Chains A and B, each alone.
Chain A
Amino acid sequence: MAELKTKIKQNTQEQSVEKSPIIQEEKEVVFQSKNFNLWYGDNHALQDINLTFHENDINAIIGPSGCGKSTFVKSLNRMTELVPIVRTEGDIDFRGDDIFKSGMSVEELRTRVGMVFQKPNPFPKSIYDNVAYGPRVHGIKKKAVLDQIVEKSLRSASIWDEVKDRLTDNAYGLSGGQQQRICIARALAVEPEVILMDEPTSALDPISTTKIEDLMQELKKDYSIIIVTHNMQQAARVSDRTSFFYQGYVVESDDTNVIFENPSDKRTEDYVSGRFG
C-alpha cells in the first residue's frame, strides 16, 4: 500500500471554491479533479470541474436532472468511456495518480473504485455467485476464501441475516431493496477504497431507502463514498460534504450544513430550498 500513498496536492483553484477546509486537512485526499471537461459529441456536459474528495467522507453530489452529476461520478472510474462519443480534457487524480495517464489500468482503477448503480442490477445468477463474481474475476478461486469474502460482504451490506439460508437462490427473486444491498455487497467483495453510488435509492421504497442510508453511515468508517442524489433531504441526512452541479458546472462545494443552511450562491439557495429542479 505504501506506493499508493502520495502527498496531498494543494490546489489553489480548489481553495477558492472551498471555504472551510479546516476539518478536511487531516484526512487524505482520495480524488481530485483539475479543470476536468467532458463532451458527448458536441455537447459540453462537464465544464472545468475542480473538486476534492477525502477519505472516510460521504460526499453528496446534487443538482437538477441533466446537470452532469452522474456523468461526473462515472468519469471517476472511467465508465464514461463505454460511450464511444465521449471526449475528455483535464485531469482526475486518484490518490495522486492521473487516472487518464497511459499505463493506468482501468481494471485496477475499477477494482479500487467500486460502483453501485441507479437501478439494482444483480447478475442473473445465485446470490452467492453475484457476490463472489468480483473476487473470482480477480483470480481468487479457493472456495474457503470465497465463502469468507461472501459472508463478510453480505454482513457489511446488512443483508446476511436475510439471505444466509438461500445463498444459492437466484438474486432476481429478492425485493428491489434487497437486490440493491446485494449489489452493494457485490461491490464490497473486491475491497474497494472508494464506493461511487449513482442515485442508489431512486428506484426503492422509503423503508429500503432508510436501510441503505443507515448502511452508508456504517460503510463510511472503512470507505470513502461519493453519492449522486436528486433527493436533497437524502444529501442533507447522510453526507458530510455536498457539491451542487448546475448545467455542467460546479456552482458550490462545501460542508453539507453550509450548503443547506448558508449557501453563498443564489442558485444553490434556490435549489436547496426547492424553488427549482
Chain B
Amino acid sequence: MTLVDKDIIAKKRTGRQSRNQIFKWLFFLCTMFGLAVLILLIADTLMDGWSRLNLDFLTNFNSSRAESAGFFGAIVGSLWLMLVTTPVAIVLSVGTALYLEEYAPKNKFTEFIKINISNLAGVPSVVFGLLGLAMFVRALALGNSVLAAGLTLALMILPVIVVASQEAIRAVPASVREASIGMGATKWQTVSRIILPAAIPGIITGIILAISRAIGETAPLVVIGVPTTLLVTPSSVFDSFQAMPMQIYSWVKMPNEEFQYIAAAGIIVLLVILLLMNSVAIFIRNKFTNRY
C-alpha cells in the first residue's frame, strides 16, 4: 500500500499552480495601486492647477479675490520656517545620535532615552502643535512667529533624524573605529574625523527626508495660529509668517470653487519642491551606500 498517491498529487498540482499565478497577479496589482494613486493624484492636481500656475501666482501675495491670489508670501514664509527648523533639528538630532551610539553607557537611563525617542516619533503632529501653542506661543510669548513654529517643527522631526543618524553611525564598521583608537586617537578625534565623515551621507539623507516632511506639515501650524492673509514677508524670526501647506489648506476650505484651482496650483509648487528634495536624498543614498 502506498501512503502517497502520485496521481492525485499530480492532478492537484495544476490547480495549485494556477492559484499561485492568480494570486501573484493580485499581489502585483496591490503593489501597483500605490503607483496608480500617485499618477492619479498628480494628474488630477495638474489638471486643476495648471491654468493658474504662472508667474503672477508665484510673485503675488494672497488675496481674497481668486483672480489675484498668489503664493509668494507662503513660499518665502516656508523658507524662513526651514531656516529655523533645519539648524535646530540638525544640532539636536545628530548630537543625540552621537551620544546614544558613541558615548552613552549601557544603563537604564540610556534605555529610557531610547524608548522616549521612539515614543516621541509616534506622537501625532497636532499634539506637537498643542505643545507649541502652550509653550512657545503663550508661555515664552513668541506669538505665532517663525521662531515658535520653527522650534515646534524641529522637535517634531527630531526622532526621524535621530533614528536615521543612529543607523548611519552604526553602519560604520567597528574595525575602522578600532584602527583609529588603536593609533592613539582620542574618542572625539575618532568620532569627528572617521565616524562622522563616513556616516554623513546617511545622516544627510535622513535630514533631507525629515525637512521635506516638515515643509509639508500643516496641523501644527494651524494649531499655532499661522496666518494666511498677510501682505508682508517676515524680516526677522520674531515676525508672523505664512507657510505653503497652511495657505493650501485655507484655499481648500474656501467655499468659492475658484480657490480649489488655486489650491491645486499651490500643491504643484509644493510637490515639485518635495520631489526635488526626495530625489536628492535618494541620489545621495544610492551613490554612497555599500562602500564597505
Contacts and interface: CB of A to CB of B under 8 A. Distances in A.
Interface of A: 77, 79, 82, 84, 106-112, 114-115, 117, 119, 121-125, 133-134, 136-138, 172, 183, 186-187, 190
A123 B183 contact: no
Question: 4 closest Cβ contacts across the A-B interface?
Answer: A111-B184, A110-B184, A121-B175, A115-B182
Contact of A114 (B105, B182, B198): B182
A89 B182 CA distance: 22
A124 B184 contact: no
B180 interface: yes
Interface of B: 105-106, 173, 175-176, 178-186, 189, 193-194, 197-198, 291-292
Contacts of B175: 117, 119, 121
Contacts of B179: 115, 117, 121-123, 183, 186
Given A121-B173, A124-B198, A172-B291, A82 B183 contact: no
Contact of A186 (B181, B183, B189): B183
29 contacts: A77-B182, A84-B105, A106-B184, A107-B186, A109-B184, A110-B183, A112-B184, A114-B182, A115-B178, A115-B179, A117-B175, A117-B178, A121-B173, A123-B176, A124-B176, A124-B197, A124-B198, A124-B291, A124-B292, A125-B197, A134-B184, A136-B193, A137-B180, A137-B183, A137-B184, A137-B193, A172-B291, A186-B179, A187-B182
Contacts of B189: 137
**Residue with the greatest number of chain B CB neighbours at <10 A, chosen from A106, A107, A112, A119:** A107
A146 B105 CA distance: 37
Given A133-B185, A134-B183, 8 more contacts: A77-B182, A82-B178, A112-B184, A115-B179, A117-B175, A117-B178, A122-B179, A187-B182
Contacts of A186: 179, 183
A121 B106 contact: no
A194 to B, nearest CB: 12
Given A79-B178, A84-B106, A137-B189, A123 B194 contact: yes
Contacts of B181: 79, 82, 110
A228 B214 CA distance: 53
A187 B194 contact: no
Contact of B180 (A77, A108, A133, A172): A133
A197 to B, nearest CB: 12
A82 B185 CA distance: 13
Given A117-B175, A121-B173, A110 B198 contact: no
A201 B240 CA distance: 65
**Residue with the greatest number of chain A CB neighbours at <10 A, chosen from B173, B182, B189:** B182
Contacts of A137: 180, 183-186, 189, 193
A133 B178 contact: no
A105 to B, nearest CB: 9
A135 to B, nearest CB: 10
A133 B183 contact: yes
B183 A114 contact: yes
Given A117-B179, A119-B175, A124-B291, A108 B194 contact: no
Contacts of B105: 84
Contacts of A77: 182
A107 B197 CA distance: 22
A111 B176 CA distance: 16
Contacts of B198: 123-124
A172 B185 CA distance: 21
A190 B184 contact: yes
A204 to B, nearest CB: 15
Contacts of A133: 180, 183, 185, 193
